[in-house]
Amino acid sequence: MKYYEGHDAAYRRLKAEGHVTWDRRDYDDCYLKPFLDRALKGLSFSVAKPRALEVGCGTGPASAFLAQHGFDVTGIDLSETALEIAQLQAKRLGLKITYLKQDWLTFSTDEKFDLVLDGHCLHCIVFDEDRRRALETTRALLHPGGYFAMETMSFRATMDFGPQFRLDTDGVLWVKVARDNSLGPVEKWGDWYLPNRRLLHAEQLVCELKSAGFRILESKTVREEDPRHSDLFQAICTTESRG
C-alpha cells in the first residue's frame, strides 16, 4: 500500500458510527458548497451536460452536489468503504453517478472531462514527484479549455495538529505510528512516522499549479476561526492559455 491509501479504516469507523461524511455533517450539507456555488457561477461550458470528475471523492457529497447541478459525474477514490457509502447516497437521492476505485495519480480513461474537482485530496499527496504526477494526470483528463477547481489545506503559522504530529522544513506533516504499521513508516525524530499531509504556503501552491501548466482564474485563502487549524487554499484554473 502507498502512504496515501490509509483512509479506509477511518471510513469504516465513520460507517460504524452511522456517519456518511468525513466531517460528520449531514450529507446534503456539503462542506464545499460555498466554494462550488461561487465557482460554478463563473464557469461556462459548451455542452448542456458537462462531464465532471471528482478526485478523492470520499463518500460523494460534492459529487452529488455537481450531479444535482446538471453535471454527468464520475467520482474516484481508493477507499472501498467510502465508495459503498457514496453509491448508497446517490441511490437515496435518485442520482446517476459513476463511482470507481481508482488512484488519482494513475487514473486513465479515453473520456475527457469539462471539470475536475479536488476537494481536499492534494494535501494528502505529500511528495513533489507524486504531486506533479497528480496535476499532470489532471491536465491529461481535461478537455482543452477545461477547468480544475480545488480546495486544499495550506500552511498557517499557528496551526497545531497535536503531539503525535511533526512538521518538517518542506511542509510535510508526519504522524507518529507503530513501527509495524502496514503502510511502512520511516524512522524520524527517534520514532516511527508516516507522511500525512503537505502544507504549503499559498504562494507555493500558486507556483505549483502554474508549473503544471494551469492558468489560475481565481485563487483565495480562507482562514478558519480556530487558530490551530490550517488555512484553506482555493483555486479555479483552466488549461487554456491567455492567447
- Please count the CA atoms within 13 angstroms of the CA of 227 that sit on its side-chain side: 2
Residue 1: predicted pLDDT: 82
Domain membership of residue 224 (yes or no) is yes
Per-residue pLDDT tens over the stretch 224-235: 999 999 999 999
90 and 100 co-located in one domain: yes
- Helix (H) or strand (E) segment spanning residue 81: helix 80-93
Read off the amino acid at residue 75: G
Q: Provide the residue range defining the domain that includes 188.
A: 160-198
Confidence (pTM) = 0.96
Domain membership of residue 102 (yes or no) is yes
Q: Using CA atoms, how far apart are residues 141 and 145, in angstroms rounded to an integer?
A: 11
Look at the chain and report how many structural domains it folds into.
Answer: 2
168 and 219 co-located in one domain: no
Q: Give the rounded percent of residues in the chain with a pLDDT score beyond 70.
A: 99
Count the residues in the chain: 243
38 and 123 co-located in one domain: yes
Domain membership of residue 243 (yes or no) is no
180 and 208 co-located in one domain: no
Per-residue pLDDT tens over the stretch 96-123: 999 999 999 999 999 999 999 999 999 9
Domain membership of residue 136 (yes or no) is yes
Residue 130: predicted pLDDT: 98
Residue 242: predicted pLDDT: 59
Whether the pLDDT of residue 243 is over 60: the answer is no
172 and 106 co-located in one domain: no
81 and 146 co-located in one domain: yes
10 and 45 co-located in one domain: yes
Beta bridge partners of 119: 151
Domain membership of residue 75 (yes or no) is yes
Residue 148: predicted pLDDT: 98
For range 131-153, the mean pLDDT:
97
Q: Contact 191/204 with Cβ under 8 angstroms?
A: no
31 and 69 co-located in one domain: yes
Q: What is the DSSP letter of 122?
A: G
Q: What share of the chain is helix, strand, coil (3-state, %, to 5)?
A: 30, 30, 40
Q: What is the DSSP letter of 214?
A: P
Q: Can you tell me which residue has the cell 506533516?
A: 173
Domain membership of residue 121 (yes or no) is yes
Alpha-carbon separation of residue 184 from 2, 4, 176, 220 (angstroms): 8, 11, 12, 35
Domain membership of residue 109 (yes or no) is yes
65 and 180 co-located in one domain: no
